[in-house]
Structure formats: C-alpha cells, structure tokens
Structure 1
Amino acid sequence: MIGYLRGQVVRSTGDQAVVETGGVGYLVSVPATAREKVCRVGATVELHIHTQVREDQLALFGFTTPAELELFEMLIQVDGVGPKAGLAILSAAGLETLKRAILAGDANPVRRASGVGPRTAQKVIIDLRPKLEAESALAALPAPAASGDGEVAAQVEAALRGLGFGAPEAKQGLKAIDWSANPTAQEALTRALQALGRER
C-alpha cells in the first residue's frame, strides 16, 4: 500500500495529477485544497496517500496534510460515501470549515458537495460528530508527563466528563476498555464511547 508520495508533478488536469518519483508516474486524485500545489507542472509535492484497491483498479487519493487524509478516511467509512464523494465533500468545504460544521450539526457545507444528497449529508453529521467531539475533548486535555494506564484513564475520564457524561457513566466506560492492550488515549476513548452507545 502506498501511504506517502514525494515527487515532481509531470501532468495536472482538474482534480488529478501525475506525480513522478523514482522513474514512475503515479496518477493521484486530490481535493480542491491541494490543487494549487499540484497544478503547477514541475513543482515538487509531498502528498499523504489513501490507496483504494479493487479487483480491477488501484486508485490513489492525495492530501497535503495528515489531518486532511484522516478526515477523508473518516468520511469514506460513512455508509453511502465513497472516495469520490469524500473528495467532493472536502473540496466543497475545506478541512477546518467541514470540521466546524460537523461539530455544530450543520449539514449545509456537506450538501454543497457534488453528488451528495441531504440524507447522506445528515448521515455524515450523525456518524462523524461523536468522533470529532472525542478528538476535540482529547485535544483540550494537557498531555500527561508519562504514559501509562493511569494517565490514559485520567485523560479518558476527563474527556468523557467534558462530553457530558456523568461520573457513573464515565466509570462504566472505563471498565469497558481492554487495558491489557495498552491503548492510546484516542483508542481508549473510542472504546469507551462505543460501550456507552455514542459510536455506531
């Protein structure tokens, strides 16, 4: 699987570019946010790649930041949103605008994407809002001085309380986590939210 490309743009048309590296040209689809960088033939670009593998096709989707790639991969996990629609959603709104809209429950920026109807747009909000809320809650916490179950548990409990769960619910969420797997704070919080019914 290709996860990253650094090379020279040898051809660019609309939302696709051919990036040459090591004597091989890779055809990469990119969102509007990346087009300014990849539309200049001869420019050197760095792209974080999502590889889609099908029986008859291997398709590459490129993003200028890991955060864009991460949100794209979250989008295509939503039922009814394929890579083409995910790219269109990111292109229509942009990373930060899209994140703010999802957190606010505003489906309009999602609906502006070509080929995305109101039902799919609402599903994007319903599916991704809890995940972005969890990310925001974790980001707001100070980083622990050292890693370990105690510090991660404290982070997760604080994040759950910040999301509106009471102390008993937060404790219940903590009990659902498999601490023997040494989860990160994000993994532990995701598991706790699943146990509490906040994730699909």
Structure 2
Amino acid sequence: MIAHLKGRLAATGIDHAVIDVGGVGYLVGASARTLSALGSAGEAAMLHTEMLVSEDSIRLVGFAQAAERDWFRLLTGVQGVGARVALAILSAFDPADLSRAVAAQDKAMVARANGVGPKLAERIVRELKDRIGGIALSPGGTAPIAPVGAGADAVSALLNLGFRPAEASAAVASAQEELGAGVGLDALVRLALRKAAK
C-alpha cells in the first residue's frame, strides 16, 4: 500500500499528475481541486494516495489533503460511486462543503457535481450521514464543521475502539471545545474517551 508520494511535480494533465520520486514517475489520478493545489512543474510536491486495484489495473489516486482522501474512501463506499464520480464530486466541493451537505441532507447541492444525478445524490447523503457521524456545530450553532487534523484522527481512534460514529464525533467535538485549538492528539483522545464513556 502506498500512503503518500513526496517528490517533484514532473507534469500535470486534465485529470492526473506525474510525481517524480527518486527518478521514478508515478502517474496519479487527481481531482481538479488537488491539481490546482500543486505548484508548477519542477517544484516539490506531496500527495496523500489511495491505491485502486482491479482485475486489469493498479492505479494511484492522489489528494492534496488527507481529509480529501478520507472523503474519497467514503464516497467510493456508496453503491454507484466509482473513482471517477468521487473525483468529480471532490473537484466540485471541498471536504467542509461535503460535510455540510451531508449533515443537512442537501442532495441538490451534491447533484451539482458532474456525473451525479438526483437519485445518486440522494443515496450519497442518506448513506453517508450515519457514516460521518454527528458533526460538531460551530459556537454559533449553525454551520457544521468537519473534523480535521487531530480531530479527525481522534474520531478515527474512537471508531477503532468500537464507538459509533455519532458518539465518537460528539465526544471529540466536546473535547475540542473544552481543550481549545492546537491541542495534541493524545490529550484529545483521552478527554474524548472520558466524555464518550459517560
């Protein structure tokens, strides 16, 4: 499994980039959002990757952010969403926008991505609502915020311990609110575990 590539950007195309790592050029499929985040040819580049293996091919897909890779995994877990459609969705929306759309069950927003019809958009928001768990609200109580960085890692840790997605997300959000920005992962997981166990 290749988790990331770090090297120099050799070239980009409409839907891919070539990353030169130690003299080996890796062809990596990517969303328009990721391609726009890469610099110019010859500059240093790092992509989080997902390896797709089928009967007749092995492909790499790359992402500028780990959160985008996580959403790719979620999206391709929905029946009818392949890698191409998932990348089209990620080209149209950043992870925070997707989190808001799924939390609000806004199928019309998701349907704006190329290749996503109304029925598929409805299936995506319905199936992913429970899989992304309860999303923390901002202090104003309005806009949902997707967990990123340590928050996302803490939610993942709680999920691995057997907590349900909604429980894990709520506990981590509560712990983040109490501990403030910039808290380390260890402290965040410890407090979230105490909150989830109540």
CA contact (8 A) 1:111 1:118 kept: yes
Looking at structure 1, the residues matched to 104 and 28 of structure 2 have their Cα atoms a distance apart, in angstroms, of 32
Q: Secondary structure at the match of 1:33?
A: helix
Looking at structure 1, the residues matched to 189 and 12 of structure 2 have their Cα atoms a distance apart, in angstroms, of 45
Give the structure 2 partner of residue 138 of structure 1: 171
Looking at structure 2, the residues matched to 146 and 114 of structure 1 have their Cα atoms a distance apart, in angstroms, of 38
Q: How does 1:99-114 map to 2 (within 5 A)?
A: 99-114=99-114
Aligned length: 156
CA contact (8 A) 1:89 1:113 kept: yes
Post-superposition Cα deviations, 1:131-164, rounded to whole Å, max 9, x if no partner, equal 222264233121786978x973x43356xxxxxx
CA contact (8 A) 2:174 2:192 kept: no
Letter of the 1:116 partner, please give it.
Answer: V
CA contact (8 A) 1:85 1:114 kept: yes
Q: CA RMSD in A?
A: 2.3
Q: Secondary structure at the match of 1:60?
A: strand
- Does residue 155 of structure 1 match 2:195? yes
TM-score by length of 2: 0.71
Looking at structure 2, the residues matched to 147 and 98 of structure 1 have their Cα atoms a distance apart, in angstroms, of 25
Post-superposition Cα deviations, 1:167-195, rounded to whole Å, max 9, x if no partner, equal xxxxxxxxxxxxxxxxxxxxxxxxxxxxx
Letter of the 1:91 partner, please give it.
Answer: S
Give the structure 2 partner of residue 13 of structure 1: 13
Looking at structure 1, the residues matched to 20 and 9 of structure 2 have their Cα atoms a distance apart, in angstroms, of 6
CA contact (8 A) 2:31 2:90 kept: yes
Looking at structure 1, the residues matched to 27 and 79 of structure 2 have their Cα atoms a distance apart, in angstroms, of 26
Looking at structure 2, the residues matched to 114 and 107 of structure 1 have their Cα atoms a distance apart, in angstroms, of 14
Give the structure 1 partner of residue 50 of structure 2: 50
Q: Deviation at 1:7?
A: 1.0
Q: How does 1:69-108 map to 2 (within 5 A)?
A: 69-108=69-108
Looking at structure 2, the residues matched to 36 and 147 of structure 1 have their Cα atoms a distance apart, in angstroms, of 34
Q: Secondary structure at the match of 1:115?
A: coil
Q: Which runs of 5+ in 1 are unaligned?
A: 159-200
Q: Which runs of 5+ in 2 are unaligned?
A: 135-165, 177-185
Looking at structure 1, the residues matched to 195 and 79 of structure 2 have their Cα atoms a distance apart, in angstroms, of 30
Give the structure 2 partner of residue 129 of structure 1: 129
Whichever of the two has the greater Rg, that structure is 1
| Structure 1 runs (4+) greater than 6 angstroms displaced | none
